[in-house]
Structure 1
Amino acid sequence: MRERTFRAVIAVGLAIALWLGVGPAHISGNIPAALAFTNQQQMVMEVWRIVNRSYLDETFNHQNWWFVRQRVLRQQLPNWPATYQAIQEMLAVLEDPYTRFLPPSQYQSLQTNTNGELLGVGLQIAKEEEVSPLRVITPIEGSPAEAAGLLPLDEILEINGTSTSSLTLDEAAARMRGAIGSQVTLKVSRTDRDPFEVNVQRDRITINPVSAELRTESGLPKLGYLRLGQFNGNAVAELKTALEDLEQQGADAYILDLRNNPGGLLQAGIEIARMWLDEGTVVYTVNRQGYLGNYDAIGKAITADPLVVLVNKGTASASEILAGALQDNGRAQLVGETTFGKGLIQSLFDLPNGAGLAVTIAKYETPSHRDINKLGINPDQVVTSSTEQRRQFGTEADEQYKAATALLAQSFATAQR
């Protein structure tokens, strides 16, 4: 059985963040031989084994995990749909929206969409609790969701009239996917207004994670502006190429824009942090036994030029790992707003029949041992902004960008004295 690990943030039509994980557990105790079980029961047992070995909360939400398994095995499991439903009910007792069973169709969609192309509305979503509305991390740049005006921290109360409180992340994502040109109606809650409905037309969305530009403005150093929209499979190579090109063009300072970046591949976040750090820890991981693992900078950084990182409430997951690594190592100052606060790590396991299982196996801490889950990372310089649409980022209308350029101008002027 193959296994991959990833940060748990779900895009509509996109799952995020593969990571190096742990192997499945082996059952101890008086368990009959595998041949005594039907294929359906064997899948139940396999899911139970993985969770029993790997789940972050060793109390299993204060449940007797062995009795949970026995209760499921006593049920009639005449076919695969009944089995999938029983497994989902078994995992529901954990009350963890990110530990979840993925039927074959959902698992296939998850795997396909990590490659940088979506089919749906282009909305990154999360859940705080098992029974809670969906929370928007951010709409994807250029997506129908962005065009419809959806914003970070919006809550999606209903999808085509169905309450999202009882839906899993994958069920909600499936309801928002559909044929190109078809519409989905979302009921949205936002802090500054009454709930309202938005009709969003589904489309195919290609993600281009990196944009870069050398900017020369009066009174400023040659400025390399790098926008990183997501940590997908192309992000590391594209950012490395862009950063090296800007160095060759003579950039004197950099702005790395992580606003509305929902994360993605955790390993990509680590590799990108290493492009800016000669030494130091990038991130710590902590499992249920309290074991502290770490990922460090491993070589010479591409540049030592001054760096400011832009963050906001849509900066999440692997983006927070990168921002926290650069801030805690004194490599960059952060400008903007407190980040989303997503600090849990999931492992993704292959199951028979093309199904999959996601399990929360660890949490991460920044290099200074900050646990930012549900708290976020506070910037060094707080600058609130009404700029929500990414087409405005890096323009004269962007107060956070202007604050970053002023900070770099001051730093550059001081260095020239």
Structure 2
Amino acid sequence: MGLMHKQVFRVGLSVFVAFWLGLCNFCQPAMALTQEQKLVSEVWRIVNRTYLDDTFNHQNWAAVRQKILSASLPDQKAAYTAIQKMLKSLDDPFTRFLDPEQYRSLQVNTSGELTGVGLQIALNQQTGGLEVVAPIAGSPAEKAGIRSRDRIVKIEGIATQNLTLDEAAARMRGPIGSLVTLVIERDGEGQKEFRVMRDRISLNPVVAELHSTPEGLPFGYIRLTQFNANAPTELAHAINSLEKKGASAYILDLRNNPGGLLQAGIEVARLWLNSGTIVYTANRQGIQGSFESFGPALTNDPLIVLVNEGTASASEILAGALQDNGRAILVGETTFGKGLIQSLFELSDGSGLAVTIAKYETPNHRDINKLGIKPDKIISSAPITREQIGTEADQQYQAAMELLTKHSVLAGGAG
């Protein structure tokens, strides 16, 4: 997702308000804005002061505001629709409105922590019923014996058939130490009641295993699924653990990693690089910032990074940093091509707004937006299941392992 934090631009906002009041000396007395109009104005102001493209997609941004406010906004739903229409005129899929449910969900995903029972849930597309995707490893739900594919029939005595996904998740969250009663249905076993104590759940985006090549070379296989707040710490723990187990090379799997927090991407790059620029950023004033690595890296062992068209955003920052600094060889398919950074703003009614505020370039000043990063070795892959990742059926993984075997990666890298 890129950069995510609340932002308060007190000086900029006060200047804007003063300018607006000055204009209104020449206006007819204005009617007080409704709550719906205030929300639209709030979104308009945030975009007006922070959006990367100061032409606002070659349109008169003030006129867009007037047009929206002159239309009827009878309720919250109408305001949300109007905001979405206003943002759509920017022709930027990453600048988007998030209703309160979507905003809360995004916060939970990126914070890397929640309190609850530790179940990933989804609605079954065929039946519409609430199902367990998987219990989070080490969570109260896993310890209680709840399994993947279990159907959640009731939460605290309330039938789940009338609940949205977010409502069901909200009912399972709660204070640490409190109990929640779930009625679970399992094929061949009927219904069973589980009383589960809520606890702090850490969302670990790292899968780490010690593998060996056919020739017996021990290497660390690390899959990183997203860049949440836990990613740098969990990855550092994984590298240290694999070093102790005797790993002499690494495969870092960033396939289908959609990104997340910019800062997490930078901190992960620092784990691998002894020195060098990680990424450059530029806002609409053209101001360039840069993030550097200061070392020492946790390991100088040979590194291969797996990427595909689902590798995006913070994943591409990491892949670009490792490629441009000569620290890793990239294997797989050209990445997604999201070279834009968003900031997340909380709105007055609990909804949220993601706004593209900057763009980034790799250390060699490559702008990868809509172009992606091309791997050093292109290997296309047929779709595989989750269980086949990192096995003989995984062609990209096999190609990376062959490269390790041939010692094609310079030992020690060029961090």
TM-score by length of 2: 0.71
CA gap 1:103/1:212 in 2 versus in 1, 3 angstroms:
closer
Q: Deviations over 1:85-130 (max 9, x none)?
A: 332332232222222222333322332343457543699xxxxxxx
Q: Does the Cα contact within 8 Å between 2:109 and 2:228 map onto a contact in 1?
A: no
Question: What is the Cα deviation at residue 296 of structure 1?
Answer: 1.1
SS where residue 37 of structure 2 aligns? helix
**1:339 is aligned to 2:339:** no
Q: How does 1:17-416 map to 2 (within 5 A)?
A: 18=4, 23=9, 25-26=12-13, 27=16, 28-29=19-20, 30=22, 32=24, 36-115=32-111, 119-120=121-122, 208-411=204-407
Residue 69 of structure 1: CA displacement?
Answer: 1.5
- Between 70-79 and 264-273, report the one with greater CA deviation: 70-79
Amino acid at match of 1:357: L
The number of aligned residues is 331
Is the partner of 1:353 in helix, strand or coil?
coil
TM-fit CA distance, 1:268: 1.3
Alignment identity in percent? 59
Cα distance, 1:241 vs structure 2: 0.5
Runs (5+) with no aligned partner, structure 2? 113-118, 126-132, 135-162, 170-201
Q: 1:413 to 1:380 in 2, by over 3 A?
A: closer
Give 1:175 shift.
Answer: 9.4
Preserved contact between residue 204 and residue 234 of structure 2 (Cα < 8 Å):
no
Which secondary structure does the structure 2 equivalent of 1:114 belong to?
A: helix
**In 2, distance between residues paired with 1:56 and 1:103?**
23
1:314-349 deviation per Cα after TM superposition (whole angstroms, max 9, x unaligned): 211211111111000000011111111111111111
SS in 2 for 1:95: coil
How high is the TM-score relative to the length of structure 1? 0.70
Gap change, CA 1:88 and 1:278, over 3 Å in 2: same
Q: Distance in 2 between matches of 1:413 and 1:365?
A: 25
Task: Kindly report the root-mean-square deviation, in angstroms, between the aligned alpha carbons of the 2 structures.
Answer: 3.3
DSSP 3-state at the match of 1:288: coil
Q: Which range moved further: 105-114 or 331-340?
A: 105-114
Contact 2:84 2:97 in 1 (8 A): yes
Structure-1 separation of matches of 2:341 and 2:207: 28
Listed one character per residue, the Cα deviations across residues 221-265 of structure 1 (whole Å, up to 9, x for unaligned) are 321111112222322221111101111222211111111222222
Q: Which letter maps to 2:340?
A: L
Q: Answer whether contact 2:222 2:253 (CA < 8 A) is retained.
A: yes
For 2:46 and 2:409, locate their aligned partners in 1 and report how far apart those are by CA, in whole Å.
56
Distance 1:85 1:302, change over 3 A: same
Residue identity opposite 1:389 in structure 2: T
Structure 1: runs of 5 or more not aligned = 1-5, 8-16, 124-141, 144-173, 181-205
